[in-house]
């Protein structure tokens, strides 16, 4: 049984399902890519993805119903193992319920506890049989905070994709406002303000689906669905929401600026909980600011425009950022993460 709750989790779980092969029957909650990979999709959980404390509270009743339905599905089908893919707010609770029912729990793509909630490590040690991490520093982190937990670093699934750079178009800026509707709602106005202030630059935006594409409207911006990676290979610069897209950009050597906004209550709570200095994973892995970040009140069009102009006009600065991003990508292991994860899962059940 698989559970993935967001577009990135859907893509990574789909690759893992294909790696497991046709002799393994899979079912669960996820998205269209997991279904296309051969999984019996009980529920499209990616359609319900939200971000932020306020949004989670507003949708609490719906998620509680979904949670109960999936627990019942596990009881009915009795899988050899449940593979939980990121999505910690939901999946950590699900792990506890599977533990009570004697069902083996494997977690693929660790929650970023090192950033916001180290105390959850003991809960994971109790409820998870095997943790498969995609960042190299996570294994050492768990060894310190949950020494009894079995952890394997399998590498980042992004590395197995083609990260050969394309022919970069002069003054083409790619806008990546996020994969969830609430993200786009908060971040797109900032990006639209950037477009308004830079009339001599060509912009293109990438959306994960038609629903979010409909939210990205500007007369000077062409919106492409499902082509983010191709556009990353061509753009001079990406202005991107924090998340998986930052590592995708890094993998193809696309210089970037990170922009992020959430509900103010979510932001204030996050400032208390978050223990790292940066949101963009390239910066987190490097331990320093490789790419500029503009978070919450700092995410104004004027500040983003100033950083964007500097990177567009300064080829040497872009080249330096590309070299530093390449160094980050080299830490993520060799291609074959999905195959290594599949072998670890089959060896554990």
pLDDT in tens, 287-346: 999 999 999 889 999 999 999 999 999 999 999 999 999 999 999 989 999 999 999 999
Question: CB under 8 Å to 344, separation ≥6 — which residues?
Answer: 106, 130, 132, 152, 154
Top-tier CATH class for 172-330: alpha beta
Would you say residue 231 has pLDDT above 80?
A: yes
Would you say residue 41 has pLDDT above 70?
A: yes
Would you place residue 118 in the very low, low, confident or very high pLDDT band (cuts 50, 70, 90)? confident
Would you say residue 182 has pLDDT above 90?
A: no
Q: Where are the domains of the chain?
A: 2-156+333-348, 172-330
DSSP 8-state assignment for residue 253: T
Would you say residue 224 has pLDDT above 90?
A: yes
* Closest to 15 measured CA to CA, from 347, 246, 335: 335
Average pLDDT, stretch 35-42? Answer: 98
Average pLDDT, stretch 39-53? Answer: 78
Pull the structure tokens for residue 306.
């100033």
Residue pair 112/141 in contact by the 8 Å Cβ criterion = no
Q: Please give the pLDDT value at position 274.
A: 62
Top-tier CATH class for 2-156+333-348: alpha beta
pLDDT in tens, 248-303: 999 999 999 999 987 666 655 555 556 668 889 999 999 999 999 999 889 999 99
Would you say residue 226 has pLDDT above 80?
A: yes
pLDDT in tens, 130-148: 999 999 899 999 999 999 9
User: What is the reported pTM?
Assistant: 0.82
Segment 334-339 long-range contacts (CB within 8 Å, at least 24 positions apart)? 334/155, 334/159, 335/155, 335/159, 335/160, 336/155, 336/160, 337/134, 337/154, 337/155, 337/156, 337/157, 337/159, 337/160, 338/12, 338/15, 338/16, 338/18, 338/19, 338/157, 338/160, 339/19
Give CA separation, 239 vs 10, 69, 110, 129, 347, in Å.
23, 38, 26, 38, 41
Would you place residue 17 in the very low, low, confident or very high pLDDT band (cuts 50, 70, 90)? very high
Q: Please give the pLDDT value at position 289.
A: 94
Would you place residue 72 in the very low, low, confident or very high pLDDT band (cuts 50, 70, 90)? very high
Evaluated on CA atoms 148, 128, 136, 319, the torsion sign reads negative
Q: Please give the pLDDT value at position 331.
A: 93
Instruction: Measure the N-to-C terminal CA separation of the chain; round to a whole number of Å.
Output: 12
CB atoms within 10 A of CB 143: 11
Phi then psi for residue 295, to 5 deg, are -115, 135
- Percent of the chain predicted with pLDDT > 70: 90
DSSP 8-state assignment for residue 160: G
pLDDT in tens, 151-168: 999 999 988 765 555 667
Q: Please give the pLDDT value at position 49.
A: 58
The yes-or-no answer to whether 2-156+333-348 and 172-330 have a common fold is yes
Q: Please give the pLDDT value at position 329.
A: 94
Q: Please give the pLDDT value at position 161.
A: 67
Q: Specify the higher pLDDT residue, 118 or 320.
A: 320
Average pLDDT, stretch 90-105? Answer: 97
Would you say residue 209 has pLDDT above 70?
A: yes
Would you say residue 97 has pLDDT above 60?
A: yes
Would you place residue 175 in the very low, low, confident or very high pLDDT band (cuts 50, 70, 90)? very high
Q: Please give the pLDDT value at position 251.
A: 92
């Amino acid at each position: 049984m698989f559970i993935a709750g967001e577009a990135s989790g859907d893509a990574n779980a789909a690759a893992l399902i294909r790696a497991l092969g046709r002799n393994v029957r899979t079912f669960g909650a996820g998205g269209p890519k997991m279904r296309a990979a051969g999984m019996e999709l009980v529920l499209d959980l990616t359609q319900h993805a939200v971000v932020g404390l306020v949004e989670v509270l507003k949708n609490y009743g719906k998620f509680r119903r979904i949670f109960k339905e999936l627990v019942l599905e596990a009881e009915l089908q009795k899988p050899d193992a449940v593979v939980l893919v990121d999505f910690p707010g939901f999946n950590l609770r699900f792990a506890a319920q599977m533990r009570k029912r004697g069902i083996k729990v494997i977690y693929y793509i660790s929650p970023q506890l090192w950033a916001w909630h180290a105390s959850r490590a003991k809960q994971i040690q109790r409820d998870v049989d095997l943790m498969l991490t995609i960042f190299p520093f996570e294994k050492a982190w768990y060894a310190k905070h949950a020494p009894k937990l079995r952890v394997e670093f399998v590498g980042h699934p992004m590395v197995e994709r083609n990260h050969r750079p394309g022919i970069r178009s002069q003054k083409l800026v790619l806008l990546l406002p996020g994969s969830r509707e609430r993200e786009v709602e908060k971040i797109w106005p900032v990006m639209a303000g950037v477009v308004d202030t830079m009339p001599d630059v060509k912009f293109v935006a990438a959306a994960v689906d038609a629903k979010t594409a409909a939210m990205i409207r500007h007369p000077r911006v062409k919106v492409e669905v499902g082509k983010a990676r191709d556009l990353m290979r061509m753009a001079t610069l990406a202005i991107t929401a924090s998340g998986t897209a930052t590592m995708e950009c890094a993998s193809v050597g696309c210089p970037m600026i990170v922009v992020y906004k959430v509900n103010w209550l979510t932001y204030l709570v996050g400032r208390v909980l978050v223990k790292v200095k940066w949101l963009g994973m390239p910066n987190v892995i490097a331990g320093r600011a490789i790419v500029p970040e503009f978070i919450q009140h700092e995410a104004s069009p004027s500040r983003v425009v100033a950083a964007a102009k500097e990177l567009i006009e300064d080829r040497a600065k872009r080249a330096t950022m590309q070299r530093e991003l390449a160094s980050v990508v080299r830490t993520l292991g060799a291609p074959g993460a999905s195959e290594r994860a599949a072998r670890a899962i089959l060896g554990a059940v």
